[in-house]
Amino acid sequence: MMKNYNYFLLFINVVLVFVLPLSDTNGVVLACLGASALFGFKCKGGGKDLNYILLAWLAYSIWYLLSSLWSVDYHVVLRGIRKENLYSVVALIAGFVSFKLLNYRLRDYLLFSLILSGLMLSIIACMQKHGLGGDFVNGIVNKQYSGVGDASTFLVVFFAVSFYLFDFKNKIRFFVGLCSQVTMIFVMFEIENRMAFISIIIMYSIYFSVMALNFSRVKVILAGSLCFPLLLGIVFYGLTIKSQNKEVSLSSIEAVSVNDPRAEMWTSYFDKALDRPILGYGAGYTSLKNAIQFDIDKTQNWSIEMKTHAHNVFFNKQLQMGVVGLALFLLLYGYAFKSAVFPYRRDDLSLIAVLVFVGYFSKSLTDDFFIRNSLIMFWFLVGFFIASKRDKIESESH
């Protein structure tokens, strides 16, 4: 009977990881999240491992909700606490439960499903980019990444997980992982997202630095001489993708930077943050759009998306919930990182957890994806990693 439960739980999670990148938080997503989390009743005593992080979530959520008292539109706060907080907590529990109840082989299947979902998203993104698939493809993707970086953010998360396939003792598995990453890099170029390339370089740098600890000095020099030029070429090429000049050159990068309004936008938002440093303007993804009014002549180069939020997750939290909210945000995610990564082990998912955190946060340095479906995927993985770490510690103690 338990074996049947395991396969049913795996099925629910596979559906979740395939549907989540391709839809809004609809009934299928919520049903899968809820059903997976409900399996927590079968985790005897396992829930205590989440006590502190759930307390951190509670403190953050209380301040989030209190901000409705000084927000110009409390409905934005209520919508935000549902998707940014409630769904994320359920995803955390679902990911934790999944690792606890699935056996080693089924856990592998779930991680493989995540990578396969990334490849499916890559194909669909390419089809939409080139006008293939018509209304069917557009109907799938329009809610997720029409005009913003949702697809590339998901791909960065999937890219981080794909390092799990980098088993140098298994050539086939390593080759599949490498092909998956090449496919995702190509699609990131196709959908023209510069920050995705920066995130990739940071993840590769961390991965190779950790792997180099096991190499001899000669191997480190050889690997560095091969990888560094390649990674530098990827990021250099990626930074030119929004230039009208198709030539890959420094002038192309300069042209893209000059036309990007973020520097001007951050300066303007910084002035507004000083007006309400303690409380902020109210939580919620679009709260700033209604609370802050800018002079038209100063924002004529800003798109409508630029006026929605501050395009930096830390800056955004400061503006929305003040220094108190930012401190609670850092406490919550800092403790989640500690729980998912430490004590660090080379033979578990510690490194993959580091890459997921680094990839997701670096992607939000020039935007804020901490309200979208990718946040649900992120917290599902955090729960999975925390359970993995607890399982490793318990096995070492016996």
pLDDT tens readout for residues 111-154: 888 888 888 888 887 777 776 766 666 666 555 544 445 778 88
Domain that holds residue 270: 2-40+47-397
pLDDT at 385 over 70: yes
pTM of the model: 0.86
> Whole-angstrom Cα distance, residue 62 to residue 108?
37
Number of structural domains (the chain) is 1
Q: Would you state the structure tokens that stand for residue 70, as one six-digit string? A: 């000084």
Q: Which helix (H) or strand (E) holds 108?
A: helix 104-129
Contact 150, 144 (CB under 8 A): yes
CA 205, 110, 208: angle at the middle one, nearest 5?
Answer: 10
d(C-alpha 183, C-alpha 186), whole Å: 5
Give the 3-state secondary structure of residue 11. helix
**107 vs 111: CA distance, rounded Å:** 6
Query: What's the DSSP call for residue 378?
Result: H
Q: Cα separation of 158 and 52, whole Å?
A: 27
As a whole number, mean pLDDT of residues 246-260 equals 50
Predicted confidence at residue 227, as pLDDT, reads 66
189-199 pLDDT, tens digit per residue, is 777 777 888 88
- Which residues, at least 6 apart from 65, have a Cβ–Cβ distance to it below 8 Å? 77, 81, 283
The residue among 383 and 149 whose pLDDT is bigger is: 383
